[in-house]
Amino acid sequence: MRLSIGQEQRLVQKQVLAPRMIQSMEILQLPLIELQERIEQELNENPLLEQREQDPDLPDEPESVENPEASPTEEQELVVEENTNNEEDFERLMQLQQDVPDHFDERPRRSANRIEEEGNRKLDVMANVTTRPDTLQDYLERQLREFELPQRIRVMAEIIIYNLDSRGWLTGRLSELLPHDATEEQISLAHEGLSVIQKMDPPGVGARDLRECLLLQLVPTLPYYKEMKALISGHLSDLAENRLPMIERKTGYSIEKIKQAWAELRRLNPHPGAVFREVFVPAITPDVIVDKDEAGKYLVRLEDERTPSLRISEVYRRRWMSGDLSSEEKEFIKRKVNSAQWLIDSINQRKNTLTRVSQAIVEHQTRFLDEGPEAIEPLKMQQIAEKVGVHVTTVSRAVDDKWIQTPRGIYPLKRFFVGGTVSTAGEEITWDAIRIKLQELVDNEDKSKPYSDDELVKELHRHGQQVARRTVTKYRQKMGIPSSRQRRDWSMRAGKNGSSE
């Protein structure tokens, strides 16, 4: 396929600006604590960047991004015109002296010893900050960079990576990650992206159910490979019910061989992503706070009071204006000004994007905030992307590892993205609503006469959730709830054990 001149120029421009685009996306993805650490690191590494001391008695200076509604388009957000000689940066830098004189207010210069002491103190603080362990998404993204893929497949694979649950599974249908009017080509790209992820480590990642998860872990060199493949493909429920004679009749394998294959099967990991769960619970600092105004509307604000406000150093600005610089010093200052200004712009863009994405999520999930978890609405990242006017990967990065403080508690922003199913009445019901009510029914049932799946359907219908029997069965199995016969048997055994004591 031949590209037009405009397309070629745009492609070249994107390739030239890849480092800047990457930095902007990295800043967007950072949670609050890590953003503060990143700023500390940049303050130590870039002498032209310094923290602006804010007087609490004075009004805040206006931010670069004043109107969230008048935000840049997706192309402007990710593709910035390259400025190779940085002249515009310096024109803006010099103009600040005239337009905003107090931006570069002269302050008493610190002694060399004072600067060294402050630098050592900052380094000590950074050295004692616990490094965030790798997440499953971090690990998969590094592997993804090693694949030579067309960009559209790479983007789709990245979307899938950020929709895997803590087990490493892709819950829900793959089509839920695509626009409502997705083309056959987009659907094909999604399947190719999933296929790439399913080739990654840990084995079994990207599976959509237990059967697929276990099959992805099989390799021909494993003992009883053929037998395990047959058991996983068609007899998992028989194994769960210990119906070995039935498996023997259907497969022709002896009971002894089935038991040996079953023992090997138990060595597989049904939750490959669980290895990345942190062994400690860190203190949660919300990135976003939700408040209710007098009119009853929920509004979001960023928790960024502790985030340092940055500016370009007036010391180096004056050195530049003096003109007494060598060519090497001029090039150094230009390069560092460019780097500092880009960081400041990236932080402002992060604030803008995170605010707009969070507000869109809150507006969609108002019932959740008013009524509680059972009232959560089905929501896909694609819906928020379309509402805010950005790419779905931007939404994914904006909500990744971010927490929101609401009147009902602190939640990860990803908590508000939930799949669902269409009820028999044609209404969309979230998986969370079904799960909560299903668990409640099972917890409160008569243990000697537990509900069958048909009876659970009737009970859910009585509570306003009209779902099909196959949906109840699927969700019950996903939740690890045994069948009614198993629940009754376990109840009887528990009763016997209790009476024998």
* pLDDT value, residue 85: 40
Q: Tell me the Cα Rg of the chain.
A: 28
* pLDDT value, residue 30: 87
CA distance 234 to 247: 9
Half-sphere exposure of 466 (CA within 13 A, CB side): 7
Burial state string for 34-65 with b = 16 or more CB within 10 A and e = fewer than 16 = bbbbbbbebbeebebbbeeeeeeeeeeeeeeb
Question: What is the model's pTM?
Answer: 0.47
Longest dimension (CA), the chain: 95
- In 365-405, alpha helices (H): 366-371, 381-388, 392-399
Which amino acid, 64?
A: S
Question: Chunked in runs of 10, what are the mean pLDDT values of the chain (501 residues)?
Answer: 47 48 80 86 86 55 38 36 41 41 38 48 44 78 89 88 89 80 87 94 93 93 92 90 90 93 91 72 77 89 78 80 78 84 88 94 90 79 91 89 87 80 56 74 84 86 77 78 80 55 40
Under CATH, what is the fold of the domain 420-500? Arc Repressor Mutant, subunit A (1.10.10)
CA distance 217 to 198: 10
- Cβ-contact 393, 352 below 8 angstroms: no
CA distance 396 to 393: 5
| CB burial of residue 444 (10 Å; 0-12, 13-18, 19+) | exposed
**Which two tokens mark 199?**
């080739």
CA distance 240 to 295: 55
User: Is 272 strand, coil or helix?
Assistant: helix
DSSP 128: T
* pLDDT value, residue 165: 87
Treating both helix axes as pointing N-terminal to C-terminal, what angle do 151-161 and 392-399 enclose, rounded to 10 degrees?
Answer: 30
CA distance 397 to 170: 18
Pairing of strands 409-412, 420-422: unpaired
Distances (CA, A) of 344 to 11, 43, 341, 427: 26, 12, 5, 46
* pLDDT value, residue 496: 53
* pLDDT value, residue 105: 37
User: Is 3 strand, coil or helix?
Assistant: coil
Burial state string for 116-133 with b = 16 or more CB within 10 A and e = fewer than 16 = eeeeeeeeeeeeeeeeee
End-to-end CA distance of the chain: 78
Q: Which residues contact 429 (CB under 8 A, 6 or more apart)?
A: 378, 420, 421, 422, 423, 465, 467
